[in-house]
Amino acid sequence: MDIPSFLIYRKFLHYSGEPFKNIFRNTILPKFCQFITLLLNYKKINGQIISLPLLIIFLANPVCSYEIAKGSKIGHDLTEMSIEELMNIEVTLVSKEPERYFNTPAAIYVITNEDIRRSGATSIPEALRMAPGVDVERIDSNKWAISVRGTASRLTRTVLVLIDGRSIYTPIFGGVYWEDNDVMLSDVERIEIVRGPGGTYWGANAISGIVNVITKSAKDTQGGLVSLGAGTLERIFGNVRYGGKNDRGLYYRVYAKYSDRDGLNHDNPDRDKYDEWQTGQMGFRVDKDLSEKDSLTVHGDFHSARIGLYDSVSSYSAPYSQILADKEDSYGGNVVARWQRKLSEKSDLAFQIYYDKVNHRDILYDSDTDIVDFDFQHRLPWIWRQQITWGVGYRFINSKTSGLDTSFFRPEDETFNLYSFFIQDDIELVKNRLHFILGSKIEHNDVTGFVIQPSARLLWTPTREQTFWAAASRAVRTPSRFDYEYQNTTFGGLVGGVVPAYSRVIYLNDKPQDLIAYELGHRITFGSKFSLDTAVHYDIIFETPSIEYALPSPHYYIETTPAPAHYVVPYNVDHKLMVKTFGGEISAEYRPFTWWRLTASQSIFYLHIFKDADSTDMRSIDDLEKATPRHQSILRSYIDLPANMNLSAMFRYVDNIPTLDIPSYCSLDVRLAWKVKPNIELSVVGQNLLDNEHPENSVENEIPRSFYLKMQWQW
């Protein structure tokens, strides 16, 4: 062991608890410390930046040897009081939500229903702006580029998004159509955001993150709710929900929502209001306890949207290339049924089946996808200090596409089968102190065959106030049809003013993108007022798509059909890039008073690209590396005011994106709400208050300052 590793080793040893000192001292710690020094010595890394989060962990570490004084600084002894006196004490409830995640060995962040309500967000992407490590870039009014610990684009393919157990990751495009997917935000219980891979549990495509939207049970949404609003960017919107029950213990709710959004600001008059966006959605949910042990949930949605689109389309005859701005209608629907049975304490069975249809229209190609998915999961009883969970799944995907002669899938239609099996074992090495969680998912699909995604996690809870975790995992992204069946030809110009020349990208990459991730995390609470969550990661992603010349120099040939004859420079999409990323997120929550809550977070993300020696990819490494903001800060403040009013504010700083010429920006969103009566709330929301407009992903489309007014009535 070299000297820096040894110093880290000593530091850790000093504070580690007695019970498992030997295992820790002899095996885990030396490896861990060597890994950290390796990280610190890693040539391209600015040592200071990675050392900051680590420094924080080390600083916080001694705290575990302290007994933190908690609570009970009350002037009087409560046990001296009679029951009558106790009944007259006013008690303020504090949300228990964060505690549930305190002992999770992964970088998880939870956006609660209250967070969503008080943020004034009107869509899932806007709500995700609250989470650290999530990069949300609005491309135009109806499109977002969202990534977790990665480069964001409309084609972000490494984040798995689930709504109530249903994957909304589209298998054709390999991303998420945020413009199609909506939920009734007031019925969302929470949004869990896992940064880092989740392949072992969630399966393929959970590479750099998971967004899991969980709606409330129908039992918790009884009664009616109507909300109406109007504003500048959010031109008009309305939500209606009614929940009831019958006398046999069946709870239900039905909802409908509509919104009409304006386009963003465009300097180019051609683009004026191209991106207007109207959506309508309705759905239901039924929850019923079939017996003491069995419960059944059935829910479904139907959604429809009119989406404004803008793209450049090439053709083989004059005018060769033209800009199309168009309004297209997309629709879809789904039904999910989930049955759960409690077998005993800590043991249960769950079976889920869903059908999902999405008909999405775009300028370059249309697609129609049907998915049927089965999932079974069994949690075995706790035996020999172990909890074993296993499950099997099957997904059938039938997709149909239709494109243009310069943009198409071959074959147009395809079916795809995905089989999966997973097993996970949670071993308690030291009671209430140390857990080791080992698991793997094994998948088989029609394109890549068998794929194994193992992970190992260690969770150490030295005191009730503090948790450390470490993880090493592999996650794999199954190629989407876009990766291996798509072909796109773009007009480049006229050679000699006569012969048209095209570049043609042929997607042939049927290798799964493969990630190995190492993560470390730490959580600590100081009393019930202050908590801190830190996570750092180092990821290596193999088999990342590259664009290679298909022909040797001079790289082009002459094609005669379709007429007229034209030059073509063909490119193949191969996988000759390797990506290394590292970064960290730190978030803190502070409640100085019961009426004031503050949360702050800071994220750092660095990305390095390595080309294989034989790669002919023409894109500059610098451009690929600088396509994502490196720093991001979020500060939120929630204040309860007198007279049934409350004031919420979110400030964000987002670093620049040099590749896209996007300057860094600061934004401020403010919401003021007033409960006129216990069941009527009026709110006014101002978004992006700090500047007139700023771009986030495309310099052509700028997000303006906007306002809206909303009234909500509940009964």
Partner 1 sequence: MTKFIKAFFKYGLIIALIFSVCLSYSNFTFAEEGQPTEAQVKAAFIYNFGKFVEWPADRMGGKYFVIGVYNDDDFAQVLTEIVSGKFLHEKPILIKQFSRIEDITGCHILFVGYSAKDYLAELLNRAYKSPILMVGDMQDFANRGGMINFRMVGNYMRFEINVNAVQKTGLKMSSQLLKLAIVIK
CA pair distance 197, 456, nearest whole angstrom: 12
From 26, 432, 553, 692, residue interacting with partner 1 (rule: CB under 8 A): 432
Please report how close the Cβ of residue 118 comes to partner 1 at its closest, in angstroms. Answer: 20
Please report how close the Cβ of residue 233 comes to partner 1 at its closest, in angstroms. Answer: 21
CA pair distance 485, 510, nearest whole angstrom: 9
Sequence-separated contacts (24+) of 559-567 with Cβ below 8 Å: 562/316, 562/317, 562/405, 563/316, 564/316, 564/317, 564/499, 564/500, 565/499, 566/316, 566/499, 566/500, 566/501, 566/502, 567/495, 567/499, 567/500, 567/501, 567/502
Specify whether the CB–CB gap between 516 and 196 falls below 8 A: no
Is residue 11 at the binding interface for partner 1, with CB under 8 A as the rule?
no
Angle, vertex CA 458, rays to CA 457 and CA 462, nearest 5: 155
User: Is 134 strand, coil or helix?
Assistant: strand
Is residue 339 at the binding interface for partner 1, with CB under 8 A as the rule?
no
Bridge-based pairing of strands 159-163 and 209-215 is parallel
One character per residue 282-311, x = contact with partner 1 (rule: CB under 8 A): ----------x-------------------
CA pair distance 630, 611, nearest whole angstrom: 21
CA pair distance 432, 484, nearest whole angstrom: 48
# residues contacting partner 1 (CB under 8 A): 65
Nearer to partner 1 (CB atom), residue 62 or residue 564: 62
Is residue 653 at the binding interface for partner 1, with CB under 8 A as the rule?
yes
Is residue 81 at the binding interface for partner 1, with CB under 8 A as the rule?
yes
From 73, 383, 554, 715, residue interacting with partner 1 (rule: CB under 8 A): 73
Is residue 664 at the binding interface for partner 1, with CB under 8 A as the rule?
yes
Nearer to partner 1 (CB atom), residue 220 or residue 612: 220
Is residue 691 at the binding interface for partner 1, with CB under 8 A as the rule?
yes
From 35, 242, 394, 530, residue interacting with partner 1 (rule: CB under 8 A): 530
Is residue 383 at the binding interface for partner 1, with CB under 8 A as the rule?
no
Please report how close the Cβ of residue 687 comes to partner 1 at its closest, in angstroms. Answer: 16
User: Is 246 strand, coil or helix?
Assistant: coil
Is residue 631 at the binding interface for partner 1, with CB under 8 A as the rule?
yes
Is residue 70 at the binding interface for partner 1, with CB under 8 A as the rule?
yes
Specify whether the CB–CB gap between 489 and 503 falls below 8 A: yes
Query: Which listed range, 86-94, 133-141, 671-679, 706-714, lies at the site for partner 1 (CB under 8 A)?
Result: 86-94
Query: 495: which strand partners?
Result: 499
Please report how close the Cβ of residue 335 comes to partner 1 at its closest, in angstroms. Answer: 26
Nearer to partner 1 (CB atom), residue 219 or residue 306: 219
Torsion, Cα 238 218 176 378, to 10 degrees, reads 180
Is residue 247 at the binding interface for partner 1, with CB under 8 A as the rule?
no
Bridge-based pairing of strands 223-231 and 347-360 is unpaired
Please report how close the Cβ of residue 690 comes to partner 1 at its closest, in angstroms. Answer: 7
Nearer to partner 1 (CB atom), residue 217 or residue 659: 217
Query: Which listed range, 199-207, 236-244, 477-485, 627-635, lies at the site for partner 1 (CB under 8 A)?
Result: 627-635
Please report how close the Cβ of residue 422 comes to partner 1 at its closest, in angstroms. Answer: 23
Specify whether the CB–CB gap between 175 and 139 falls below 8 A: no
Please report how close the Cβ of residue 639 comes to partner 1 at its closest, in angstroms. Answer: 18
Residues 6+ away with beta carbon under 8 Å from 388: 379, 380, 423, 424, 425, 426
Nearer to partner 1 (CB atom), residue 366 or residue 691: 691
Question: What's the N-to-C CA distance of the chain in angstroms?
Answer: 67
3-class SS letters over 580-622: EEEEEEEEEEEEEECCEEEEEEEEEEEEEEEECCCCCCCCCHH
* CA separation, residue 602 to residues 385, 417, 628, 648, 653 (Å): 37, 41, 15, 19, 9
Nearer to partner 1 (CB atom), residue 93 or residue 498: 93
From 212, 601, 687, 688, residue interacting with partner 1 (rule: CB under 8 A): 601
Nearer to partner 1 (CB atom), residue 376 or residue 382: 382
From 134, 204, 586, 660, residue interacting with partner 1 (rule: CB under 8 A): 586
Residues 6+ away with beta carbon under 8 Å from 598: 589, 590, 591, 592, 635, 636, 637, 638
From 392, 551, 690, 699, residue interacting with partner 1 (rule: CB under 8 A): 690
Site residues (CB under 8 A) for partner 1?
Answer: 52, 55-56, 59-60, 62-63, 66, 68-75, 78-79, 81-84, 86-94, 96, 99, 292, 342, 344-346, 348, 382, 432, 464, 524, 526-530, 532, 586, 588, 594, 600-602, 631, 633, 635, 653, 655, 664-666, 690-691
